[in-house]
């Protein structure tokens, strides 16, 4: 496609979207089209009753509000018929079908109230996975999980730095930066990155994109004391390693015999699929034949911890190494709601 | 300084009052110039583009009765600026807007072959549908970056988000858009 054509195509996006982006409105920050923020009075009462009942059955965490309801918050944005764009009937029909499943799932949770199941995983930094909500109608499986871990997502570490340096072979690029060589960077992009440097990065002359980005990550993710300690270590020894732990549920959900339940759509209810503490929603809309029409479906989810090591030397060299540290398969079962 | 409501500015255009241009410039002149300046380097080009935008509004209202007026005039400014940009860049590339187009080409690659105006409009509509599915901030970042052609640092200043975080969000959105367009059958 010619670049002129690309310009025109982007130019012709919806007027409302252009107007919306004229000014930033922090009041709607985080609002997702999958979420409905409106809650009717009737629904509030239903949830209050459900919470009280669950508390009575001893699932104190749920009732205490640790876990936000997931199915309730998942709806796909389907415009009114008169506002729909022509030629997209199939797309809207697909979304309406998903919404119908989610409404049935929410109703099932309200009526049947299957108790949340929590499994502790000491081998995974003592994390806990809770199957908070579940629904299976013989054709579709939808699941809402809560993951909890005390392990910090970011930590500056000073152990085994040399060992990690030996393993690390991939330079830690910033997203969309394919080459850290200053001479090959687009001048404008490089100017922007240089302008975003922290005081420490300016003072000590960091000029490689990867090290500037790594320093920015440290600045935002560590406490001020940890950040200062990390820089002290960097200045003393000339190198530093930062570890990022990503705890997540794999989007490959398996039957007991290992059959993959197929393409899974996931919506992290919180910011990122990799969560230390948060809710994750999965929808498997096209189950394989072996998983359809059963009285109950037994399945296992794979909980994983991936550890990424960002190694940095004061002269600007920055390296990246990532490995699967541990994982566990956790079995669950869901009854067919239509039986 | 009091600014007229959009409907009153449009009424002035319908009355063929030249005050319409003055009111439009007062209310949306800065937005029009910013839209053009994100694409064009030369200040003279930007000013000429802004003046051409006022003329474009004068020539099209009536019969048009745009709502919202802001996006209508910014769209005119953007179209004029990109035409001028492509004319200029036959000689020399402009860093910032080239970076924007380079990024877009990651998710809408040159392999896409649109033979008719109808197909191009369908692709625009598909991108709009995709944007409807995004969280507010991701849609904001995308439209500011690829429609308004803002720099990452400008978006960071507007939103108080970290520049790196915005880059990461945009990167993920481009990946999602690529996946979406493939699913919708636009990519081979």
Say how far apart CA A106 and CA A83 lie, in whole Å.
27
Q: B160: number of CA atoms within 13 Å, CB side?
A: 4
Radius of gyration of chain B (CA): 18
Q: Is B2 exposed, middle or buried (0-12, 13-18, 19+ CB in 10 A)?
A: exposed
Test the B interface: residue of A2, A5, A6, A214 with most B CBs within 10 Å:
A6
Say how far apart CA B55 and CA B33 lie, in whole Å.
14
The verdict on A169 touching B (C-beta cutoff 8 Å) is no
The tokens describing A97, both together, are: 């079908």
| B102: CB partners within 8 A, 6+ apart | A186
Region A230-244: mean pLDDT is 89
The verdict on A206 touching B (C-beta cutoff 8 Å) is no
Give the residue on A whose Cα is nearest the Cα of B39. A7
Ranges of residues in chain B with a pLDDT under 50 are: 91-93, 111
Q: Cα distance from A20 to chain B (closest Cα, Å)? A: 8
A109, pLDDT greater than 50: yes
The tokens describing A245, both together, are: 């732990």
Q: Parallel, antiparallel, or unpaired: how do β-strands A154-157 and A239-249 relate?
A: antiparallel
Region A58-66: mean pLDDT is 39
Region A114-134: mean pLDDT is 91
> What's the DSSP call for residue A260?
B
B103 and A176: CB-CB below 8 Å?
yes
Buried b (16+ CB within 10 A) or exposed e, B109-136: eeebebeeeeebebbbbbbbbbbbbbbb
A138: left (phi over 0), alpha (psi -120 to 50) or beta: left
* Cβ B41 vs Cβ B94: under 8 Å: yes
Chain B positions touching A94 (Cβ under 8 A) are none
> How high is the ipTM of this complex?
0.71
Instruction: Please tell me whether residue B156 adopts helix, strand or coil conformation.
Output: helix
DSSP string, A90-103: HHHHHHHHHHHHHH
For residue A246, what pLDDT is reported?
Answer: 79
* Cβ A164 vs Cβ A321: under 8 Å: yes
Say how far apart CA A18 and CA A292 lie, in whole Å.
44
Say how far apart CA A293 and CA A314 lie, in whole Å.
60
Name the residue facing B147 among A13, A28, A175 (closest C-beta): A13
Can the peptide bond before residue A245 be classed as cis, meaning omega within 30 degrees of 0? no
* Cβ A264 vs Cβ A253: under 8 Å: yes
For residue B119, what pLDDT is reported?
Answer: 72
Region A242-262: mean pLDDT is 85
Q: A313: number of CA atoms within 13 Å, CB side?
A: 9
Give the residue on A whose Cα is nearest the Cα of B78. A11
Give the residue on A whose Cα is nearest the Cα of B83. A4
Test the B interface: residue of A4, A16, A22 with most B CBs within 10 Å:
A22
Residue listed under structure tokens 């560590």: A222
**E strand or H helix that includes residue A315:** none
The verdict on A32 touching B (C-beta cutoff 8 Å) is yes
Name the residue facing A33 among B98, B104, B134 (closest C-beta): B134
Q: Is A293 exposed, middle or buried (0-12, 13-18, 19+ CB in 10 A)?
A: middle
Name the residue facing A11 among B79, B122, B171 (closest C-beta): B79
Backbone angles phi, psi at B136, to 5 degrees: -55, -50
Other beta carbons within 10 angstroms of residue A223's beta carbon come to 10
A17 and B123: CB-CB below 8 Å?
no
Instruction: Please tell me whether residue B87 adopts helix, strand or coil conformation.
Output: helix
Name the residue facing B147 among A10, A87, A192 (closest C-beta): A10
Name the residue facing B120 among A3, A8, A17 (closest C-beta): A8
Other beta carbons within 10 angstroms of residue A256's beta carbon come to 12
Give the residue on A whose Cα is nearest the Cα of B122. A87
Chain B positions touching A79 (Cβ under 8 A) are 132
A32, pLDDT greater than 60: no
Other beta carbons within 10 angstroms of residue B14's beta carbon come to 13
CB within 8 Å of chain B, chain A residues 237-276: none
A136, B77, B98, B105, B151 from B28: Cα distances, Å: 53, 11, 26, 30, 20
Region A2-31: mean pLDDT is 76
Percent of chain A predicted with pLDDT > 90: 22
Question: Cα B110 from chain centroid?
Answer: 21
Helices (H), chain A: 3-11, 15-20, 41-56, 60-63, 89-112, 161-167, 187-195, 199-203, 209-221, 224-237
CB within 8 Å of chain B, chain A residues 98-117: none
- For chain A, give the mean pLDDT: 75
Say how far apart CA B124 and CA B30 lie, in whole Å.
26
The tokens describing B38, both together, are: 């994100």
Region A301-320: mean pLDDT is 83
* Cβ A123 vs Cβ A89: under 8 Å: no
Region A65-86: mean pLDDT is 68
Radius of gyration of chain A (CA): 24
B71 and A29: CB-CB below 8 Å?
no
Give the residue on A whose Cα is nearest the Cα of B118. A9
A39, pLDDT greater than 50: no
B120 and A5: CB-CB below 8 Å?
yes
pLDDT in tens, A134-193: 999 999 999 998 888 877 777 887 777 778 877 776 666 554 455 565 555 554 456 666
Closest CA to A276 of A119, A149, A129, A156: A149
A9 and B151: CB-CB below 8 Å?
no
Other beta carbons within 10 angstroms of residue B50's beta carbon come to 24
Interface A–B counts its CB contacts (< 8 A) at 163
A23, A135, B173 from B143: Cα distances, Å: 11, 37, 11
For residue A28, what pLDDT is reported?
Answer: 58
Closest CA to B161 of B145, B146, B179: B145
* Cβ A121 vs Cβ A128: under 8 Å: yes
A253: left (phi over 0), alpha (psi -120 to 50) or beta: beta
Q: What domains are defined for chain B?
A: 6-88 (1.10.1740.10), 95-183 (1.10.10.10)
Give the residue on A whose Cα is nearest the Cα of B185. A91
Domain regions of chain A by residue span: 116-339
For residue A53, what pLDDT is reported?
Answer: 29
For residue A292, what pLDDT is reported?
Answer: 95
Backbone angles phi, psi at B157, to 5 degrees: -65, -35
């Amino acid at each position: 496609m010619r670049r002129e054509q690309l310009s025109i195509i982007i130019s012709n996006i919806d007027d409302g979207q252009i107007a919306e982006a004229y000014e930033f409105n922090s009041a709607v920050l985080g609002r997702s089209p999958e979420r409905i923020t409106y809650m009717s009075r009737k629904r509030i009462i239903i949830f209050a009753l459900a919470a009280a009942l669950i508390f009575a059955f001893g699932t104190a965490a749920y009732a205490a509000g640790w876990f936000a309801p997931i199915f309730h918050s998942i709806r796909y944005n389907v415009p009114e018929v008169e506002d729909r764009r022509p030629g997209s009937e199939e797309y809207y029909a697909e979304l309406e079908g998903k919404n119908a499943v989610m409404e049935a799932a929410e109703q099932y949770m309200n009526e049947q109230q299957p108790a949340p199941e929590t499994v502790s995983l000491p081998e995974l930094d003592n994390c806990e996975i809770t199957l908070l909500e579940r629904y299976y109608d013989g054709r579709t499986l939808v699941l809402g999980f809560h993951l909890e871990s005390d392990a910090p997502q970011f930590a500056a570490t000073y152990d085994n730095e040399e060992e990690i340096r030996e393993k690390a072979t991939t330079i830690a690029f910033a997203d969309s930066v394919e080459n850290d060589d200053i001479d090959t960077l687009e001048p404008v992009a490089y100017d922007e990155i240089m302008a975003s440097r922290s005081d420490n990065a300016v003072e000590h002359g960091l000029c490689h994109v990867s090290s500037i980005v790594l320093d920015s990550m440290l600045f935002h993710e560590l406490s001020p004391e940890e950040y200062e300690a990390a820089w002290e270590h960097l200045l003393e020894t000339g190198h530093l390693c930062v570890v990022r732990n990503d705890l997540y549920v794999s989007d490959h959900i398996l039957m007991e015999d290992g059959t993959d339940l197929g393409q899974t759509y996931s919506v992290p209810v919180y910011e990122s699929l990799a969560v230390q503490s948060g809710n994750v929603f999965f929808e498997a809309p096209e189950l394989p034949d072996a998983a359809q029409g059963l009285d109950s479906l037994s399945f296992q989810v794979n909980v994983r911890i991936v550890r990424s090591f960002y190694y940095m030397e004061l002269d600007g060299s920055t390296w990246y190494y990532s490995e699967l540290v541990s994982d566990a398969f956790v079995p669950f079962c869901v009854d067919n709601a239509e039986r | 300084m009091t600014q007229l409501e959009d409907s009153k500015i449009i009424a002035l255009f319908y009355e063929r009052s030249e005050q319409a241009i003055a009111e439009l410039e007062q209310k949306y002149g800065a937005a029009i110039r910013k839209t053009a300046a994100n694409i064009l380097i030369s200040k003279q080009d930007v000013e000429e583009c802004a003046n051409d935008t006022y003329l474009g509004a004068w020539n099209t209202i009536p019969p048009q009765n745009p709502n919202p007026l802001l996006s209508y005039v910014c769209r005119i400014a953007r179209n004029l600026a990109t035409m001028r940009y492509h004319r200029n860049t036959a000689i020399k590339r402009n860093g910032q807007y080239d970076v924007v187009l380079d990024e877009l080409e990651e998710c809408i690659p040159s392999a896409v072959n649109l033979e008719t105006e109808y197909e191009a409009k369908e692709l625009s509509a598909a991108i709009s549908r995709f944007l409807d599915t995004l969280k507010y901030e991701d849609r904001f970042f995308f439209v500011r970056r690829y429609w308004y052609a803002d720099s990452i640092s400008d978006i960071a200043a507007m939103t108080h988000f970290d520049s790196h975080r915005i880059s990461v969000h945009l990167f993920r959105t481009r990946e999602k858009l690529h996946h979406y367009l493939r699913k919708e059958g636009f990519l081979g």
